[in-house]
A and B are shown apart, each in its own frame.
Chain A
Amino acid sequence: EVQLVESGGGLVQPGGSLKLSCAASGFTFSDSSMHWVRRTSGKGLEWIARVKSKAHNYATDYPASVRGRFTISRDDSKNTAYLQMNSLTTEDTAVYYCIKGWAGCGGDCYDYWGQGILVTVSS
C-alpha cells in the first residue's frame, strides 16, 4: 500500500522558516518524481515544487510565487522528500500535500497524495 506521510507543519511567524518532510512507502521512491501542492482558501490548489528522480538529475522546478524562498529535496536512501520554506508570509498559510508523480503521464500528474499538513503563518 502506498503511503505518503507529511510532518513538520505548524504555526510560524511571518519571516520565519519551516521544513516539511514526506515519508514514503509502498512504491519505488527512487524512480518517482515527487511534488508539493498546497491548498488555500483563496487560491484553491497551487502546485509549488517538483523534484525529479536521479535518472533526471534530481531536476527541480518552482512557480514564481515561491522560487527563491522554497527548496524541494529528496533523500532516496530514506524514501523521504522535503520542502524547506523560508521567508514565510501569511499568504503561505495553507494545507501542504506531498504527492507522487505518476509515470503514466510522465510524472506530472499525481496518483497518490498524502493527507496534507497545515502550515499557519501568523504573528
Chain B
Amino acid sequence: EIVLTQSPGTLSLSPGERATLSCRASQSLSIYLAWYQQKPGQAPRLLIYEASSRAPGIPARFSGSGSGTDFTLTISSLEPEDSAVYYCQQRISWPQAFGQGTKVEIK
C-alpha cells in the first residue's frame, strides 16, 4: 500500500504570506495526486487534481506542483478563510489513500 506523508503538521502564518505544503509518497504516483481542504464542521473540498489542475471554482491563489513522489500545494497569499486542514490523496493504486493532513493556522 502506498503511504502519503504530509509536512509540516501545522503551519502558522499571517494573512498575505505564502504557504507551502508538502506531500511525499512511498511510491511513484505519476501525477495522480489530489489536494482537499477541510474546514471545521464542513466536508472536505477538492482543490487540486492530477497534481496541478485546479478544480472548478477554486481561486487562483491555490496551485499544485510535482510528480512522482514529491508534491507541493502552494497558497500564494493567505486569506483568513484559508484556515483549514489540507489533505493529499493518491488514486494511482488501490487502496486509495490520504495523507494525515497539514493544519494551516492564520495568525
Interface residues on B, range: 20 to 34
Bound form: Cα–Cα A115–B96 in Å? 21
A9 interface contact, C-beta 8 A: no
Q: In the complex, which of the residues A61, A102, A115, A116 contacts B95, with contact meaning CB atoms closer than 8 Å?
A: A61
How many residue-residue contacts, CB under 8 A, span A and B? 57
Contact between A47 and B95, CB atoms less than 8 A apart? yes
Kindly identify, within residues 65 to 107 of chain B, every residue whose CB is under 8 Å from any CB belonging to chain A: 87, 89, 91, 94-101
Q: In the complex, which of the residues A44, A105, A115 contacts B100, with contact meaning CB atoms closer than 8 Å?
A: A44
Kindly identify, within residues 10 to 57 of chain B, every residue whose CB is under 8 Å from any CB belonging to chain A: 32, 34, 36, 42-46, 49-50, 53, 55
Contact between B49 and A105, CB atoms less than 8 A apart? yes
Contact between A104 and B43, CB atoms less than 8 A apart? no
Assess A61 versus B43: contact at CB under 8 Å? Given A45-B87, A111-B55. no
A109 interface contact, C-beta 8 A: yes
Kindly identify, within residues 57 to 100 of chain A, every residue whose CB is under 8 Å from any CB belonging to chain B: 61-64, 97
Contact between B97 and A116, CB atoms less than 8 A apart? no
The smallest beta-carbon distance between B35 and chain A, in angstroms, is 10
Q: In the complex, which of the residues A64, A109, A116 contacts B34, with contact meaning CB atoms closer than 8 Å?
A: A109
Encoded as 1 (CB less than 8 Å from any B CB) or 0, chain A from 100 to 119 comes to 00101110111101111000
**B43 surroundings in chain A (CB, below 8 A):** 97, 113-116
Contact between B46 and A63, CB atoms less than 8 A apart? no
Chain B at the A interface: SS class: loop
Closest-by-CB residue of A relative to B34 is A109
Q: In the complex, which of the residues B87, B91, B101 contacts A106, with contact meaning CB atoms closer than 8 Å?
A: B91
**B46 surroundings in chain A (CB, below 8 A):** 102, 109-111
Assess A108 versus B98: contact at CB under 8 Å? Given A113-B44, A115-B43. no
Q: In the complex, which of the residues B42, B53, B55, B96 contacts A108, with contact meaning CB atoms closer than 8 Å?
A: B96
Q: Which 5 A-B pairs have the closest CB atoms?
A: A113-B43, A63-B95, A108-B91, A45-B98, A109-B34
Interface residues of B (CB under 8 A from A): 1, 32, 34, 36, 42-46, 49-50, 53, 55, 87, 89, 91, 94-101
